Amino acid sequence: MSSIEESKTLAITSLIKRLQAEGKKILSFSAGEPDFNTPEYIKSAAISAIRNNQTKYTPVQGTAKFIESIVEKFNKDNNLFFKNENILVSTGAKQSLYNVMLALCNPGDEVIMQSPYWVSYPEITKIAQAKPVIINTDIKNNFKIHPDQLKEAITEKTKVFLFNTPSNPTGTVYSKSEILDLAEVLIDKDIFIVSDEIYEKILFDGEKHFSIGSIDELKNRTVTINGVSKAFAMTGWRIGYAGGNKDIIKLAKNLQSQSTSNASSISQAAANAALNGDGKEISKMVEEFNLRRNYIVKELQSIEGINCTTPKGAFYTFFDVSNYYNKSFNDFAVIDSISFCNYLINEANIGLVPGVAFGNDNCVRMSYAASMDDIKEGISRLKEFLLKLN
């Protein structure tokens, strides 16, 4: 366990909050959570649950009412047809992923994932005593895996293909046809697919989400991970869920029963209300994210030396700043994504996340889960302090 690293995104966020507490006026664009408040109808459901004394243990798997809502959601939104026994509610989608990976992997197994990846993918894989196998993707191809790359990465030790769309950190969204092309590689292989779809509701430019688990030949080998954190601005409520093969879900449930037991009863009541809402708050949030995205991309693409694609989902831009490496300002040398971000924190009072945390040291991640005023000021500071590097 000594090889397991702290989450770099949480570490950066913690550093920024500490500096802010010390009085430093840092504009943080490191957040992996919406800057919107949880909708009132969801909060009301939680308050009602408390007043009705729904404060006891629930079944490890989750409350029957919430599980039924998840089954209906998967059916309606994802063309995934589950029964209650196919669902496990956990304390956040991260725990859902953690449980499933530990249930699937044995020592020495290989888990294929793409880079850039969410910071926890390799570390959870290592905790499961498996080996991360990284497929490097390129900004020129919008950070997407080509089927030939997937084919080359598969060995007799491959146990899991860990897939994420829309992507954190890149905002990449795979189309249905692109997913079908990847599926062609996987259909004849004895490999499980774990599909992280937590950002599925945050899409732009008419993009449509497609779940790889809805492909008939893969449905029994796919576990779909989702939750309420991103779509409903509920990161602190800590509710995620997994849907998949009942035998895998049972193993994951057994594991959870010996760790955290059930997810919070109050949070489950709130999440149940979220899934049964009309979605208007999601639409408003996505509309605002789209305005911010458009502004950021336009501004970043106007800066000489920055390479920025247009993200199609989530609320991040992941842009290449490597043209600014091997430059300096006063005694501050920029040589990689960490020193680049340290330079901006210390000199420009801007908080970004170094790309090395996601497996790509040429880039940095900027979240647009921040006000437009902060974004405009942040971009202005970025331009000013990039000009000082020489």
- Amino acid 24: pLDDT: 86
Two structure tokens written together for 37: 């408040």
The pLDDT of residue 1 is above 70? no
Does 311 lie in the same domain as 172?
no
Counting the structural domains of the chain, the total is 2
| Span 39-60, pLDDT tens digits | 999 999 999 999 999 999 999 9
- Rounded to an integer, what distance in angstroms lies between the CA atom of residue 386 and that of residue 325? 11
Report the pLDDT value the prediction gives residue 228, as an integer from 0 to 100.
99
When pLDDT is averaged across residues 259-273 and rounded to a whole number, the result is 99
At 390, the pLDDT band (50, 70, 90 cuts) reads very high
Phi and psi at 307, nearest 5°, equal -115, 115
Whichever domain contains 333, its CATH number is 3.90.1150.10
Specify the pLDDT at position 248. 99
Q: Which of 275, 307, 329 is the last residue of a domain?
A: 275
Residues 304 and 377 in one domain: yes
What six digits make up the tokens of 150? 């997937």
- Position 19 scores a pLDDT of 84
Secondary structure class of 363 (helix, strand, coil): strand
* Domain at 108, CATH number: 3.40.640.10
Give me the pLDDT at residue 2, please. 62
Residues 120 and 252 in one domain: yes
Domain identity same for 110 and 46 = yes
296 DSSP assignment = H
What whole-number percentage of the chain has pLDDT above 70? Answer: 98
Helix (H, G, I), strand (E, B) or coil at 240: strand
Cis geometry, peptide bond prior to residue 166 (ω within 30 degrees of 0): yes
Whether 133 contacts 158, CB under 8 Å? yes
Q: Are residues 297 and 199 in the same domain?
A: no
Convert the pLDDT of each residue in 294-338 to its tens digit: 999 999 999 999 999 999 999 999 999 999 999 999 989 999 999
pLDDT per residue as tens digits for the range 11-31: 777 788 888 888 888 999 998
> Cα–Cα distances in Å, from 245 out to 93, 205, 250, 305?
17, 33, 9, 47
Mean pLDDT (the chain, rounded): 96
Buried b (16+ CB within 10 A) or exposed e, 48-85: ebeeeeeeeebebbbbeebbebbbebbeeebebebeee
pLDDT, position 157: 99
| 363-368-371 Cα angle (round to 5) | 145
Domain shared by 351 and 238, yes or no? no
Handedness of CA 170, 176, 178, 183 (dihedral sign): positive
Q: Taking residues 93-112, what's their average pLDDT?
A: 99
pLDDT for res 4:
67
Q: Examine the domain organization and report whether 12 and 71 are in the same domain.
A: no
Task: For residue 89, give the 3-state DSSP assignment.
Answer: strand
User: Cβ atoms within 10 A of the Cβ of 337, count?
Assistant: 25
Per-residue CA distances from 43 to 64, 267, 268, 273, 275 (Å): 20, 9, 12, 9, 13
108 and 239 both lie in a single domain: yes
Listing DSSP states for 92-154 in one string gives SHHHHHHHHHHHH--TT-EEEEEES--THHHHHHHHTT-EEEEEE--GGGTT---HHHHHHH-
One domain for residues 68 and 124: yes
Domain with 314 in it: 8-30+280-387
What tens digit of pLDDT does each residue of 189-234 get?
A: 999 999 999 999 999 999 999 999 999 999 999 999 999 999 999 9
Residue 259 lies in a domain: yes
Q: What is the pLDDT of residues 64-75, one digit of tens each?
A: 999 999 999 999
Average pLDDT over residues 353-365: 97
Does one domain contain both 237 and 368? no
